[in-house]
Every structure is written in structure tokens, then in C-alpha cells.
Amino acid sequence: MARPIVTLLIALVVALAPACGRKGPLELPPGRAPMPAEDLTAVPGEGTVALAWRNPVKAVSGRPLGPLGAVEVWVFEGDPAAGEFEKKARLVKKFTGRELAALAAAGAEPPGAMAFTFAVPAETAAPAKLAFAVRVFDRAGRASALTTPVAVDLPRKDAGADRRAGEGVS
């Protein structure tokens, strides 16, 4: 009598084993990912945009975050609509672990503060508005969410002043 029950149990295990577990790529738990960067500001200047922000010190779970692995700065030309930024933005700067360690050793105030100056393309068809966002990665490669994009209006060049300067008239 015990033999048919054992055979049945083995058959069930063999039949159901392939259905166990989650299918698809392995994903790291979101609680360990870094929080997004904070206090992103963008200030337009003459041919540049000065960015400043603070890197996170905690993971999404609230636990302290170790050293960062990378920080990315993204730019979008124009004023992004909802969901459009992540699709059409381009990476303009990636700070790696070495650069981040050097900045940390320099003792930024407040801790985690970073800055980057974006050079606006000198093309004649430069956009009138740019939007920026930052994403951080821990050393395990877990990415934070992008910061909320910060848009800036670029100062327009005075076409008449350019023409006069080209003619040697002040």
C-alpha cells in the first residue's frame, strides 16, 4: 500500500517542479537600491548650466548606503512631458567610483554635495530650454530613480549684437 502513495508523491513533485519559482530575469530587491539624489538645482549662465545636488546616504529601505558606484547626469532638450524624459534624454556625464572617491576625499560640504557644469552646445539651433536629472548607483549596480527633471530657460543671444561684433561695430 505504501508503494503507490510514494509513487504518486514522486510523480506530483516531478510534474510540479518546473512550475516553481518566478520566471524571467533575476532582479535585485528594490529596498537595497539607493534613494534618489536630492535638491537638484540648475542655474543657466553664459553658454553653460551649473548643476548642483546632494547624493543620497540611505537606501530605499532606510538602511545606510555604502559608497556609490556611479552618478549619471542626464539632459533633455526642450520641456519634457510626463514619461518623455526617460525615453529621449541623453547621458552627458557619468562620474565613476574613482571620481566619486576623490570628491569624497576632498570633503564636500554638506556631505554628498556634487556639482557639474554643462556646456551648452554652441550650435545656432541650440534649444531654448533644457531639463536635467540625476541617477545614482551603488557598488552592486542597483540604480536609484531619476530625480524629478529640473528645467531651465537658456538666455537667448542677441542676434543684432552678434552681427555688430562680426562687423567690428560696438
- Which residues constitute the domain of residue 50? 31-153
Grid coordinates given for 154: 537658456
CATH of the domain at 77: 2.60.40.10
Q: DSSP character for 157?
A: P
How much of the chain exceeds pLDDT 90, in percent?
A: 35
Tens digits of residue pLDDT in 92-108: 999 997 888 777 777 66
Grid coordinates given for 2: 505504501
Q: Looking at residue 52, what is its pLDDT?
A: 94
Total domains in the fold of the chain: 1
Q: Is the model's pLDDT at 73 over the cut of 90? A: yes
Q: DSSP character for 47?
A: S
Would 2 be classed as within a structural domain? no
Report residue 22's pLDDT band, with 50, 70 and 90 as the boundaries. Answer: low
Q: Tell me the whole-structure pTM to 2 decimals.
A: 0.71
23-141-82 Cα angle (round to 5)? 80
Would 7 be classed as within a structural domain? no
CA 158 to each of CA 124, 155, 167: distance values in angstroms, whole numbers, following the listed order: 12, 9, 15
Position with higher pLDDT, 32 vs 13:
32
Would 8 be classed as within a structural domain? no
Grid coordinates given for 125: 539651433
